[in-house]
Amino acid sequence: MIKVALLHFCFEDYTIELANSLVKYVDLTLIHPEKVSYFCSNVLDSSIRVISFKKPRIRDPRNLLSMVAMMNIIKDIQPDVLHVQETNDPWYDWTLLLNKMPPLVTTIHDVFRHPGDNITAFGSEYTRRIGFYRSQQLIVHTHQLKNILIEQFRISQEQVNVLPHGELGSLYRRRVSQNIQAREPYTLLFFGRILPYKGLKYLLEAMPLIAECIPEVKLIIAGRGESVRQYFPNGYDENRYEIINDFIPIEEVGNLFQRSTVTVLPYIEASQSGVAALSYGMGTLVVASEVGGLSEIVQHKKDGLLVPPCDARTLADAIICLLSDRSLQQRMQTAALARCQQDLNWSNIAAQTVEVYQKTLKEAGGRRQEAGGRRHKIYGDSNPNQIVSAV
């Protein structure tokens, strides 16, 4: 059985569900900073070994000691494969550059920083590329991202593997608070970090148009980031809008999706979407902009609707169409839940991930054999111990 160390600093939901399925296939150890443990409590398979290390804030120089501790954990485990969830942490990137690592697989969730995203650590836009080139294999969630890595970063096509982002509804159903609320037939949800690239302004422009046809429509805006108040200089109708402009406790997230009939993703740029993955698993319908990886995730007129970005009128028409047609809602819900048992199923994704590990080990073995052949040419039939010491 392959021995795998799965290291993550963020993307906790994705890592939890991947780990829960991977442990059925590999000898798995999960490594993460102590502050991430909160997100993983009570939702990880009990057979997964978990090791935590202290990780200060990004600007704290004690990160040097943190990286030493992390490397000592990896050396103690001696994994056949180290699988890292993409980080925006320059301390890790420099550690990766300056240390000998086990055969490395990296999952890249976003190749570039999103427009207007100032949360990313300074310099990480450049240092994170170290992971692109030091990894034997990369995993991305859409073919769009694969093409970017091949065309703009000159990564070999054979090194980039496209695996879907699995559904997250199952995870949040396990986390949901006891008071599960009923589905509200005319409630929309805008969820996640509120940043310019998310296109909230276009959804707010669409709301009066939707209300003309569906007076009962309501929009929940939930997430931190920009102040939502800037979009409502004259105040807002509390019967029309429910605003939670803050971090949403994980046990409350599921209820927001359970209450809502449609999740709206009016993005002007996107690589992939955990929000769509969560919506599908919760049985919440999706209307999204046809940009970037969203056009691969949402199957238009099958399990969701796609609209041109920055077009409030077309966005409004799509939402009106969906809210007005119960039969269409049911067909799309059924299709979305079916995908949760197919390409978005974590067991299937874990099996594909193991194939990437096997490819990585085969490549690493080939390199060792090639290196051994070079040593043999140099040293002939010398004592193997002398060869090792000489090298």
Domains of the chain are 3-166+359-387 (3.40.50.2000), 169-339 (3.40.50.2000)
Query: Sheet harboring 218-222: ordered strands across?
Result: 241-244, 218-222, 187-191, 262-265, 285-289, 305-307
- Nearest in space to 92 (alpha carbons), one of 33, 4, 160, 145: 33
Give the pLDDT of the chain (391 residues) as one tens digit per residue. 999 999 999 899 999 999 999 999 999 999 999 999 888 888 999 999 999 999 999 889 999 999 999 999 999 999 999 999 988 889 999 999 999 999 999 999 988 776 655 555 556 677 888 999 999 999 999 999 999 999 999 999 999 999 999 999 999 988 876 667 789 999 999 999 899 899 999 999 999 999 999 999 999 999 998 899 899 988 899 999 999 999 999 889 999 999 999 999 999 988 778 899 999 999 999 999 999 889 889 999 999 999 999 999 999 999 999 999 999 999 999 999 999 999 999 999 999 999 999 999 998 876 665 655 555 554 454 443 332 333 2
pLDDT in the model for residue 385 = 37
- As a whole number of angstroms, the distance between CA 371 and CA 73 comes to 27
Token pair for 11 = 């993307």
Tokens of 151: 């065309």
To the nearest 5 percent, what fractions of the chain are helix, strand and coil? 45, 15, 35
DSSP 8-state secondary structure symbol assigned to residue 138 = E
Name 132's Cβ contacts closer than 8 Å, sequence gap at least 6: 106, 108, 138, 149, 153, 155
In this structure, is the dihedral angle defined by the CA atoms of residues 139, 69, 63 and 19, taken in order, positive or negative?
positive
- What local confidence, expressed as pLDDT, does residue 174 receive? 87
Residue 128 has a pLDDT of 80
pLDDT at residue 87, rounded to an integer = 82
